[in-house]
Amino acid sequence: MRSVQDHLATVLAAVGPVAPIDVALRDASGCILAHDLVAPHDLPRVAVATRDGYAVAAHETAYQATTAETTLPVAHDVRPGQGGPLRLVPGQSVRVASGAPVPLGADAVVPVEETDRGTARVTLQRAAVAGQHVRAAGSDVAAGDVVLASGTRLGARQLAIAASLGFGRLHVHPTPRVVLISVGDELVEPGARGADEGAVFEADGHALEAAVRDAGAQAVRVAIQGDDRVLLREALEDQLVRADLVVICGGLSELVHDTVKDVLAPLGTVRLDQVAMTPGTRHGFGTVGSDLGRDREVPIFALQGHPVAAQVSFEVFVRPALRSMAGHADVFRPSVAAQATAGWSSPPGLRQFVPALVLGTPDEGYRVTPVGDPAAPGISALAQANALAVVGEQDLAVRAGQTVHCLVLEG
């Protein structure tokens, strides 16, 4: 029997970041930057006003401040996007809009509310201070600065700086495309009319589709495949052209009618193993491609069809693989140490993953309570859980008050 660590190490060794490509700015959201983003110029390129008002030379307003008021001619109006800055004639002012370039020779902006709002001449209520309401050239970013390091996940804030510097395209690791195939003659789509009593509503594909998206990848869910070896192989061949990774659920038992093992075993590097964990002992993993006429190898997972086993296996093995393929440095879920509020037994030699509810704070500590039967967790228990309590292979039981490692599934 293979250990969890050994199986996970094999998975992570077989996958790597998807080859980087250039994408339009709007398509880069959620992707990982493949190279440092270096500022091609200062930001802002020239000094700009941060308030609507009048650009002046501060020392000239100070000189005239011996009188009750300071009055200056208004030489021009400047709005954003009007090209390079004007030059301020000594003894004058220029009316500027917020975001507009400050004229050369001006070093301050007097807000309109501190003036009489004149159009030909303006009266200032007080002397200006050099630098007030002016954003200097390069004050945000200097040309040559690394504004985003390689490996940064691109969200709203990161795309804002890229756009501000004029980047219309970015070099990124694209989000992996994951093909999901559920297998079983007994499966029917939820909502289907006239389903037999022995039919099983297909839950794995819907659950894993959401899980794939939560991991930051793209999910392509294929129609349910029956227990037919020829048709399953054809479906796999058809889907490899669009897949960066394939996940097959179901059809993995040792019984003769379950076909996944017969289809996958001869292909590529796929291994079918018993992994020392519960739930989800039976696993398949490897790469396929050349055997099916493709020019690249695609990682493929085969998971047990029980929804709890499938989702636990996804969290332990598939999600870290997807995060690695997307270029993330943090491939694992966060974890916390929590004190068990109740005890339960654990099978010898297997790493046990128990749906659980973790409550608490970093200051007061965390408490973990199993949801449902730890020995045979059901889908309803998993639906209520926000974590998986992880019990080591050598532990035969968890005692109330014992510290347990917990994989946090959500906040």
Q: How many domains does the chain divide into?
A: 4
Q: How far apart are CA 355 and CA 113, in angstroms?
A: 61
Beta-carbon contacts of residue 230 (< 8 Å; ≥ 6 apart): none
Q: How far apart are CA 290 and CA 267, in angstroms?
A: 9
Same domain membership, residue 280 and residue 212: yes
Spatial strand order of the sheet with 108-111 comes to 108-111, 53-56, 93-96, 70-78, 121-124
Q: How far apart are CA 72 and CA 88, in angstroms?
A: 12
- Quick check: is 403 in a domain? yes
- Quick check: is 221 in a domain? yes
Same domain membership, residue 285 and residue 187: yes
Q: How far apart are CA 58 and CA 235, in angstroms?
A: 74
- Of 290, 305, 325, the residue that ends a domain is 325
Q: What is the CATH number of the domain that holds 361?
A: 2.40.340.10
Same domain membership, residue 302 and residue 204: yes
Q: What is the CATH number of the domain that holds 155?
A: 3.90.105.10
Whole domain around residue 79: which residue ranges?
48-135
Q: How far apart are CA 45 and CA 177, in angstroms?
A: 40
Tokens of 325: 């393929």
Task: Give phi and psi for 40, each to the nearest 5.
Answer: -80, -10
- Quick check: is 34 in a domain? yes
Same domain membership, residue 279 and residue 188: yes
Q: What is the pLDDT of residue 65?
A: 45
Q: What is the pLDDT of residue 193?
A: 76
Q: What is the pLDDT of residue 68?
A: 59
Nearest CA to 248 out of 277, 222, 211 is that of 222
Same domain membership, residue 321 and residue 179: yes
Same domain membership, residue 245 and residue 152: no
- Quick check: is 141 in a domain? no
pTM of the model: 0.83
Same domain membership, residue 357 and residue 309: no
- Quick check: is 186 in a domain? yes
- Of 79, 113, 135, the residue that ends a domain is 135
Strands 177-182 and 245-249: parallel
Q: What is the CATH number of the domain that holds 114?
A: 2.170.190.11
- Quick check: is 140 in a domain? no
- Of 173, 190, 221, the residue that ends a domain is 173
Q: What is the pLDDT of residue 67?
A: 57
Q: What is the mean pLDDT of each run of 10 residues along the chain (411 residues)?
A: 96 92 95 96 94 95 65 93 84 95 95 94 92 95 96 95 96 95 91 76 95 94 91 91 93 76 89 94 91 83 95 97 93 96 96 97 95 94 97 95 95 58
Q: What is the pLDDT of residue 283?
A: 95
| Residue carrying structure tokens 């008050």 | 401
Q: What is the pLDDT of residue 296?
A: 84
Q: How far apart are CA 206 and CA 221, in angstroms?
A: 8
Contact status, residue 115 vs residue 97, Cβ threshold 8 Å: no
Q: What is the pLDDT of residue 411?
A: 58
Point out which residues pair with 56 in neighbouring strands: 108
- Quick check: is 330 in a domain? no
Same domain membership, residue 283 and residue 349: no
Contact status, residue 259 vs residue 193, Cβ threshold 8 Å: no
Same domain membership, residue 57 and residue 36: no
- Quick check: is 142 in a domain? no
Q: What is the CATH number of the domain that holds 252?
A: 3.40.980.10
Same domain membership, residue 179 and residue 167: no
Q: Is the peptide bond before 44 cis (omega within 30 degrees of 0)?
A: yes
Same domain membership, residue 196 and residue 122: no
Same domain membership, residue 304 and residue 180: yes
Amino acid identity for residue 406 in this structure:
C
